Structures are given as structure tokens and as C-alpha cells.
Amino acid sequence: MIHYILMSLAFIIDFILQAMFPTTFDMSQMFFVPSVSFCVMVLTIRKLDTLDSYIFCVFFGFVYDFLYTDFIFFHAGVFAITCIVVKLWTKHVNNSVLENILICISTLFFKEAIIYCYMTVSNQTSIGINEWLTNHIFLTILVNSILVTFIVFLTYFRDDYLLQRESKIRKEEKLPWMH
């Protein structure tokens, strides 16, 4: 339940950031796409089982599609693909602050690259890779890397809370056959 509350707060933060820094889609100037909710999702699925993480990603992909875009299954598919990549990477990295930040930034780049490739192949955008990198990705990665630092520490607080709650429940359990 706490995962869904944290994701909801992340979506609210994304809404506030989008209202403060509107996006221009003509690529005439630099802009960034706030991805707080995406980074919270990436850090959350690292802790979940494989099936739970896929369900979590697809569900929030649908929510993202409903709130931000007019595509119905697009981000659900992108988030599911990203989930596969995060699960593969998670097997090879630890749970340090730096590694969590790097996973968030690299999966954010991966997600944006998938979206750019789809938009280019389907002829929905005609911008070149250099323009995309300079006007969109540079600022998106830079600003979100600052936000990710706070998100990582927030998820550590969430994980500590869940661990303390679990240990409290285990201490209160009394099994009569153990006496």
C-alpha cells in the first residue's frame, strides 16, 4: 500500500513540475520532462517480486497514459520493457545510493530513447538525434538527476519504515507451540 501512496505523491510532484516548467513540443528550445514518478517506480520494482513488478509497471503505465498522453497502451508497454531491463540490471548491482541514482538515470535515458525511436519510426516526429539530445535529453537527465538524489533517500526512508513495521509485527506474533 505504501508503494501506491508514494507513487501517487510522485505523480502529484510531476504535475506540479509540469505546471511550473511547461513543455514545448516544437523542440525550438531546451526543456525537460519531469520523471519523478518513473524514478520512484524504478526504485520500487527493484524491491518487488518479478510478477508484482510487472503488474506494478503496467498499472502505472496505464495511469501515466491516462494522465499525460493520449496513447492508451504506449507507456504501459514502455514501462513493462523498462521493468525487464531493471530486473536484469538489479541482479548485477548492489543497493547503494550511487548505484540507485545511476539505475534511475540510465533507465530514464532508456525510456526516453524507446519513446524517441517509436516516434521516429512511426513518423510522428521529424527531429534529428542531435536536436533531441541537446534540446530534450540533456536537460531532462540533468534536472531529474538532481531530483533522483532526493527520491533515493525518500525510498530509503520508505524501506526502513516497511522493515520496522515488519519487525514489529513479527515481535508481536506469539506461537503457542514455540513456548
Report the alpha-carbon distance of residue 107 to residue 96 in Å, rounded: 16
- The dihedrals phi and psi of 165, each to the nearest 5 degrees, come to -65, -40
Reported pTM: 0.83
DSSP summary character for residue 177: G
CA–CA distance from 2 to each of 6, 57, 75, 101, 134 (Å)? Answer: 6, 15, 23, 21, 37
What's CA 129's distance to the chain center, in Å?
A: 23
CA–CA distance from 107 to each of 16, 30, 100 (Å)? Answer: 22, 21, 11
pLDDT in tens, the chain (179 residues): 777 888 888 889 988 988 887 766 666 677 788 899 999 999 989 888 999 999 999 999 998 888 888 778 899 999 999 999 999 998 888 888 899 999 999 999 999 999 899 888 988 877 888 888 888 889 889 999 999 999 998 888 888 888 888 888 777 766 655 55
